Amino acid sequence: QSNPSASATMPPPGYQDSSAPVKGGVSTAGAAGSGKTEVNQLYFFLNGEEKIVSAPRLQPQSTLLQFLREEGLTGTKLGCGEGGCGACTITVASYDNDRKKVVHKAINACIAPLCSVDGCHVITVEGIGKIESGLHPVQQRLADAHGSQCGFCTPGFVMSMYSLLRTNATPSKAEVEHSVDGNLCRCTGYRPILDAFKTFCPATGESNEEPAHGGGCCKEIKDGEIPPYAKTAELPFPTQLLPENRPVAPLKLEGDICTWYRPTSLSGLLELKAQFNHAKIVVGNSELEIERKFRGSNWEVLVCTSHVQEMNVISASDGSVDFGATVSLNRLKEVMENEVATKPAHATRTYTAVLQQLRWFAGTPIRNAGSVGGNVANASPISDLNPVLMACGATVTLVKVTGEQRTIPVRDFFKQRLYRQTTMAADELILSFSVPATTELQYSQGYKVSRRRDDDIAIVTAGLHMECAKAGSDYTIANAGFAYGGMAASTVNCPKTQAFLQGKPLSHETLKAALEVLKEDLPLEQGAPGGMIEFRRTLASSFLFKFFIHVMSSVAGSLVADDEKSAGAPYQRPPSKGLQHFKETKNAFLPDAIEGPFHVDGGVGTAVKHAAADIQVTGEAQYTDDIPSPPGTVYAGLVLSTTPHARIKSIDPAPALAVKGVKGYFDHKSVQGSNSLGAVIYDEEVFATDTVVTTGQVLGVVVAETQQLARMAAALVKVEYEALPHVLTIEEAIAANSYIGDECKIENGDVEAAFKTCDHVIEKEVRIGGQEHFYLETQTSLLVPGEKDEMTVYSSTQNPTKTANFVAHVLGVHKNRVVCKMKRAGGGFGGKETRNVFIAMACAVAAKKLNKPVRIFLDRDQDMSITGQRHPFLCKYKVGFNKDGKIVAVNAALFSNGGCSLDLSRPVLERAMFHIENAYLVPNMRVTGRVCRTNLPSNTAFRGFGGPQGIMSCECYMDDIARTLKMNPDEVREINLYPSRGGVTHYKQLLVDCHIREMWANMKESSDYTKRLAEVEAYNAANKWKKRGIALCPVKFGMSFTAKFMNQASALVHVYTDGTILVSHGGTEIGQGLHTKMAQIAASELGVPLEKVHVAETATDKCANTHPTAASVGADLNGFAVQDACQQINKRLERFRMTKPQATFAELAMAAFLDRVDLSAHGYYKTPEVGYDFVAQKGKPFHYFAYGVACSEVEVDVLTGDFTILRSDVLHDVGNSLSPSIDIGQVEGGFIQGVGLFMLEEMVWMKNGNLFTKGPSTYKIPSANDVPIDFRVRLFEDAPNRKTVYSSKGVGEPPLNLATSVFFAAKNAIAAAREQNGEAGAFRMDTPGTCERIRLACGDSIARSFADKDILPAGSW
């Protein structure tokens, strides 16, 4: 298992024993003149076209994704490089010799070796449909169902579904949801994607839709309108690849640093193993690619066992399922599912246990590629599968290079408590496995808890097996097998517990005693790797408890009380469904208008799909890294600090410069302009000069011929440091008095006097965790030098003007010499408002020095480590209230972790202070705020921009009030809501058109809140180990940039003589549909169908001096600017319309042109009457407010902390929607991102200042499995906002905050468990509400045996 040292120059004797067609890459030259044939080329098909790849292009360490993108197939995206996000999903078809048929599998191209596709048909998103040739049904239905927003993840989803259809043309809804378990989307909230794909399911008579109230549903694909799917129209499997035309032959593929062997027989494999004892065995490459990427591992010899026939067989008999080591995890899943479906239930309990683990084992593409043997040999201490194999008595057969075989129990394969060590000898390989069936009184279960159910590594996992014996009317335990992962350095057995149970009666008393013995088997000391000690120990005991209840319920239901039976029930989740309702306003326009707006097809108020939906589903939408490289392009790799605070003693780039293909190293000494930057003040450096203030700070940039080479060379730069003291947390910063800027304050009323009049006063605090943006497209830029100091910057940014200005700043040239262009971004969420700038600046220095185009695309781990996140907050609050629940006074102190520089931390903090009362009238309020300076990367803007932290802090003290008074928290919320008229905020802004009380009442009625609350209470009374909670939460969100000067925008509109329109504006398209809305405004204003309007890329030479697309006001500002430009043109066209009322727009345009009328106009808008003075504490920070209410119902597993959102109803105020289907998508996507913030996503920093959660393997955003099972979204009707364009409201940020309803529904469920366990009353729960926090808060005896009542799981703190 170690790195190889043997040379990879000669094949072993007798390696080649078959021949293959010359087209397959056969050479008769042989090895060392042996005269034997060997295949030394790859032969496969790509989208129906034959491909032959050989050296030097063929390198065994290259991935399939690298090859595809080099081929110009850029629809397949790089999202993470570790098979965790699904953006790179493609379909690989191959002939399965075991099943004698062609199979299609979804595969992660980012980790699949190029060498692995020999003899396969590789199909990418471009191969199934294009705009020119027509969209594939999967593509068409996804586009029509509004399932693509930013579009970066879309090709991966398309190919996952395509792969499923090639296997099963009529999948069930559950199969559809499972097929995308390896795909992540940060924009949509998944509902529209799932809806689109479920149209391929057979009709069941069920419907997700109810009559729309006065409007429509945002689905454009409806029953009866969908053409049937024809599987026969798909790309055929090339006959050239069938075994009768191309027999499988061994491969030897030599690269510059590695040689790839692919034997086709066991004897050939053993001969290779004998010659190259330290060769690395590879099948799916899912682990090796991670080792290569994160640990810098490389191997001289790779041996792929995918075609060894003896290791690919699988068979089932009455006594067992037997399978070779190379059998994929999904193939094993298929066979065991068939066994469970066709055999008696009592005989397949071990198979059920295996399936319980495989269901949540990684994602579908990983299970398609990864093998059982690879998983076992990897010997991970947190393996999902190994504990079940150990516990159920499975065996593994090992084979020596001599051919000698031995079979041992899997439980004896792992060296106990030794990290990744096995009893397999150096000259042995895993050949096969055997999993036994069960008898009538044998029981097996698999258990796993992770941060997220789908595609996540386990925190604790277990396989538990028990055989019972009947003793009269009672039952005893004949024997037991218990194995756990996540509790030691290896998967471990529990010998003491197993021995204790033998012969014991099956009873609660035995269970209670066994739980005590289990503590001896599974000790876990504080400080153990992985942390979460109390939680992990609690889970281990909880699994045993659940298993005992399961067995007792199965053997004799009378052994278990009815209210305890839920503990033993395996997790079940039905397919999700959704409802969306809105009211179109398109008919509000006069059909005979002269100046507009006009009633046109696709105009304002019409539910249209995203303007780029079709090209996004086909993979033809171009993102920054998809732009073809100009001639001479080189690539940048950042040299980053590895310590959080230190003086730089020396930097030696010589090792990097010595690498062939490296073009140069550049740092602060190379800067011709200024080395300083900053979003508000210049408190950062492009390149560190003498001191680093955070891990991941840029020291320099290495430029090389390829991106991989640049990254590798950058890692070779040697840096010596002198360490300095560092501060990482808010608490450390407070203790060290480490702040950025002064304290800011807002005060209204007499707070201290009010406290003296209150019936109750409480003082508490809460921590609000940070959040990673996890835009699917990481930071990327391309800088192209021009003549006379010109520089064109292509960047994935929300802020083209700032990007261009700072590039000019670092180059020392005038701003008019630098142009930034941006077509679209694969997500942003605030993370590309300022933090892309320093990356572009560093590359600009290199581009200027070399006079060559320079491009960079950050790896996911690097992006997450250096670009900052949402600010963690600490809120300390004192609240005074009366016995009726009415708030009297609040004194709150907010502290944010700003990181190492100011960036946007001050305005983020200010917005949190503005939202500290959420939607409630607080007559006396004082709120102060401080930005803490720490040695973390500078935290930055994120959707909500401080609002979520302020709103969550508010909802926490509202919850504390209710629990102190023993009232329903929702009742306390309702009592304190702002009035419909006359409400004034703590910053003295009058609320006009405040809809919150009306919306609250509407939601209570439409969600059946009162009825469901009673049902929840009844459920909780009947179930001890599963609890439910329901919560209503409001939001009031201020809409404007709080910096007055930023509330302006411009646009440029051109009318062409054929009647088409070109719009340029200062906003950026990051998935939110801004370009679509701008096109709809132009269409309505000028009176042309939507298809006549095109929105050009955002460019600073079209609209200069723009502001970032942020604060949810992109449509407000740019929409007014577009409208202004169109109205100018309309005034010029007015006389032509009056004289030719029947003329087409093209005829009007031509007439005006011939009359020398300017058909272009520059529009401009500035928001009136906004701005707030913190010193004087007066002003109007917000132009208007958006309101919303959500009702969520959550079920919590008390024993594991796992939660399921049973239902969420969302009612949101968007005024008169510009584009209802776009706005529905924003509401859903924002809500699910809020679920991530408040429930799932946890940043974990190590004490050395390095980020631990820096990729999809460790950081978990919501997946499709985390959406509400029943998700109902409505746009609030008949509430026009007269202050904005077409009476609309911004929508991007406010809905995120409605996910507080999920957090407090979960907290209500926890409260029910605590009350049952004697811990009623107020309790603290920080965010995110992870399974760890939920489990340890429930207050049961198991949890309390490991954790104190007031434990606060550390999480990222």
Catalytic residue among 1293, 1315, 1319, 1332: 1293
The helix or strand, by DSSP H or E, that contains position 260, with its residue range, turns out to be: strand 259-262
- Cβ 86 vs Cβ 183: under 8 Å: yes
Instruction: Give CA separation, 1131 vs 599, 604, 1158, in Å.
Output: 18, 20, 11
Q: Pinpoint the alpha helices (H) of 559-705.
A: 613-617, 654-657
In this structure, the number of other CB atoms found within 10 A of the CB of residue 98 comes to 14
d(C-alpha 350, C-alpha 358), whole Å? 12
d(C-alpha 42, C-alpha 26), whole Å? 10
d(C-alpha 78, C-alpha 92), whole Å? 17
For 491-496, the CB contacts below 8 A with 24+ separation are: 491/379, 491/380, 491/381, 491/383, 491/386, 491/387, 491/390, 491/414, 492/416, 492/417, 492/521, 492/522, 493/390, 493/411, 493/416, 493/521, 494/518, 494/521, 494/522, 495/521, 496/520, 496/521
The helix or strand, by DSSP H or E, that contains position 969, with its residue range, turns out to be: helix 969-976
- Cβ 746 vs Cβ 158: under 8 Å: no
Q: Which two tokens stand for residue 251?
A: 């491969």
With CA atoms as reference, report the closest residue to 459 among 481, 485, 438, 435: 485
- 1334: helix, strand or coil: helix
Instruction: Give CA separation, 341 vs 204, 346, 350, 352, in Å.
Output: 21, 12, 14, 10
- Cβ 865 vs Cβ 769: under 8 Å: no
With CA atoms as reference, report the closest residue to 1196 among 502, 474, 571, 336: 571
Interhelix angle 154-167/137-144, rounded to 10 degrees, is: 130
Residue with tokens 């014991």: 504
Catalytic site includes residue 287: no
Q: Which two tokens stand for residue 1312?
A: 């029910």
Q: Which two tokens stand for residue 115?
A: 């060498």
How is the beta sheet containing 26-27 ordered, strand by strand?
26-27, 38-39, 251-254, 259-262, 301-304, 280-282
- 1158: helix, strand or coil: coil
d(C-alpha 100, C-alpha 1279), whole Å? 63
Residue with tokens 């690539």: 635
d(C-alpha 437, C-alpha 318), whole Å? 7
Give the N- to C-terminal CA distance of the chain in Å, as an integer: 36
Q: What is the CA radius of gyration of the chain?
A: 31
Beta-bridge partner residues of 254:
259
d(C-alpha 105, C-alpha 116), whole Å? 13
Burial of 708 (0-12, 13-18, 19+ CB in 10 A): middle
Interhelix angle 800-811/837-850, rounded to 10 degrees, is: 40
Q: Using H for helix, E for strand and C for coil, what is the string for 1005-1023?
A: HHCCHHHHHHHHHHHHHHC
Instruction: Give CA separation, 1259 vs 169, 534, 1252, in Å.
Output: 34, 21, 9
How is the beta sheet containing 646-652 ordered, strand by strand?
691-692, 646-652, 718-723
Q: Is the peptide bond before 628 cis (omega within 30 degrees of 0)?
A: no
Residues classed as catalytic:
1293
